[in-house]
Amino acid sequence: MTLNNILQQRPSWLAEGKEADVVLSCRVRLARNIAGAPFPAQAGDNALAAVMRVAGEAVDELSRRLGRTFTWIELDKMTEIDRAVLVEKHLISPLQAGNPRLRAAIVSDDGAVSVMVNEEDHFRIQVMMPGLGLENVLEIADKVDDVLEEGMNFAFDEKFGYLTACPTNIGTALRATAMLHMPGLVLVRQVDNMALAAARVGLIVRGMYGEGSEVLGDIFQVSNQLAMGYSESELVESMTNMVEQIASRERLAREQLMEKQRAGLEDMVWRSYGTLSCARLLENAEAMSLYSKALLGIDLNILKIPKEIIYQLMVDTREGHILRAAGAGTEPCSKEWLRAKIVRDRLAEVKLT
C-alpha cells in the first residue's frame, strides 16, 4: 500500500454499520509512552528520533500479526495539503499535522487502524469502524498495543495506570468515541440538554474533529472524559449504552418532526438536495449542512438515493481533498467553486427513484 493509495481511498469506517442511521462511526484510542523518555512536547530531537526508530521497527510485525498491510508515513516528508487530507480522514490529528517534524503515522491498508507517533504522547493507537461496535474496535486496538509493548517498555504506574501527557488520560489511557449524526435533536433544539445529560455520566460532546473543533453538518463526537478507575471493557460498555440512549432520543426527535412537521421537513430535504445539485459556489460549512439534511432525508425515506454518495462527498469536498484533487497545474479558482462542481458532477449521475 502506497501513500498515494491511502490518500485517495475512501476511509473504510465511512460506511453503514450498526445503528447507522445515527452512528456514523466509532473509535477507540489508546495513549502510550515509553518509560523514562520525555513526552513529545518536552522532548528534544534525539529523544523524538529515538521514538521514531522504535516505532518504525514495529511496522512489519504489525502487518504480520494483524493480517493487514501497514505503511510508515513520515509527516515532514509530506506536503501540507497531504497532511490535511490525513486529518480529514481522521488518520492523524490537527496537532500532529501542524507540527510534522520528527512525527510519523503507521496506517493500515484499509485506513481503519493508525498509530500516531510523537503526537501529544509517543503513541496514539486508534482504530475506527463504521456504526457502533466499540467492543470489536477495542479488540483490534489491544492487539496493536500488544505488538508495540513487546518491543518497548511503556510508562506504567501500579497506582495510576498508564502515564500520559494529559492527566485526564491517565489510567487505561483509553478514549472511546462515537461520531453521531443528530439533525433531529438540532432541529428540536435538544442538543444542549443531551450534552448536559451526557456530561452527568462522564461523557463529553464535541465537534466533528474532537477537542476545539466546530460542529459541522450536525455531526458530533461523544467520548468518555475520564480513563481512571474503570477497566477498558467497563468504559466501552458504558459508552455503548449511552450512545444507544442518545441514538434513541435522536430517532424520537425525527419521528416527532415527521408527525408534526412533515411538509416542512420534506421541503427542507428537497431544497437542500436541489441546492447541492445546482449550486455554483459552496462553502464547506454550508455543504456539510446540506449533506446533513440530505442524509436525514435518506434515513426518513424522503430522498431515495444511495447514502454512500453523500458519505463520499462529505470526505471528498473537504478543503485538503479539494486542493489535492485540483493539482498544481489547475487554473486558479476558488475552493467554493471546485466544491460545488464536484457535488454537481456526482449528483448528475444519480437516478432519483
In terms of C-beta density within 10 A (0-12 exposed, 13-18 middle, 19 or more buried), how is residue 342 classed? buried
Domain boundary (231, 253, 275) is at 253
CA atoms within 13 A on the CB side of 236: 21
Question: Residue 145: beta bridge partners?
Answer: none
- Cα Rg, the chain, nearest whole Å: 21
Q: How would you write 243-297 as a 3-class SS string?
A: HHHHHHHHHHHHHHHHHHCHHHHHHHHHHHHHHHHHCCCCCHHHHHHHHHHHHHH
Are residues 159 and 271 both part of a single domain?
no
Are residues 82 and 228 both part of a single domain?
yes
In this structure, which amino acid lies at residue 286? E
Are residues 213 and 164 both part of a single domain?
yes
Q: How would you write the pLDDT of the chain (353 residues) with one tens digit per residue?
A: 677 888 888 878 877 888 999 999 999 999 999 999 999 999 999 999 999 999 999 999 999 999 999 999 999 999 999 999 999 999 999 999 999 999 999 999 989 999 999 999 999 999 999 999 999 999 999 999 999 999 899 999 999 999 999 988 889 999 999 999 999 999 999 988 988 888 888 888 886 555 555 677 899 999 988 777 788 998 899 899 999 999 999 999 999 999 999 999 999 999 999 999 999 999 999 999 999 999 999 999 999 999 999 999 999 999 999 988 887 555 556 889 999 999 999 999 998 86
State whether residue 130 is helix, strand or coil.
Answer: strand
Give the Cα separation of 287 and 21 in Å (integer).
20
Nearest CA-CA partner of 106 in 129, 318, 320, 96: 96
Sheet strands (E) in the chain: 23-32, 70-74, 104-108, 113-117, 123-130, 156-157, 161-162, 174-181, 203-206, 219-224
Is the overall model pTM greater than 0.85, yes or no?
A: yes
Q: Residue 100 sits in a domain of what CATH number?
A: 3.30.590.10
Are residues 201 and 159 both part of a single domain?
yes
Are residues 217 and 327 both part of a single domain?
no
Are residues 278 and 197 both part of a single domain?
no
CA-angle at 50, arms to 44 and 52, nearest 5° = 105
Are residues 285 and 329 both part of a single domain?
yes
Backbone φ, ψ for residue 157 (5° rounding): -120, 135
Are residues 77 and 177 both part of a single domain?
yes
Nearest CA-CA partner of 208 in 287, 288, 141, 125: 288
Are residues 141 and 270 both part of a single domain?
no
At residue 328, the pLDDT reads 54
At residue 89, the pLDDT reads 92
48 is in which domain, residue-wise? 3-253
At residue 156, the pLDDT reads 94
Nearest CA-CA partner of 21 in 253, 203, 315: 253
Are residues 200 and 174 both part of a single domain?
yes
Give the Cα separation of 192 and 335 in Å (integer).
32
Residue 353 located in a structural domain:
no
Q: Are the CB atoms for 13 and 25 separated by under 8 Å? A: yes
Domain boundary (208, 230, 253) is at 253
At residue 208, the pLDDT reads 58
Give the Cα separation of 181 and 14 in Å (integer).
13
- DSSP for 164-207, please give it: -SSGGGTBT-EEEEEEEE-HHHHHTT-HHHHHHHHHHTTEEEEB
Q: Are the CB atoms for 131 and 26 separated by under 8 Å? A: yes
Give the Cα separation of 340 and 350 in Å (integer).
16
Q: Are the CB atoms for 119 and 93 separated by under 8 Å? A: yes
Are residues 92 and 218 both part of a single domain?
yes
Are residues 276 and 325 both part of a single domain?
yes
Structural domain total, the chain: 2
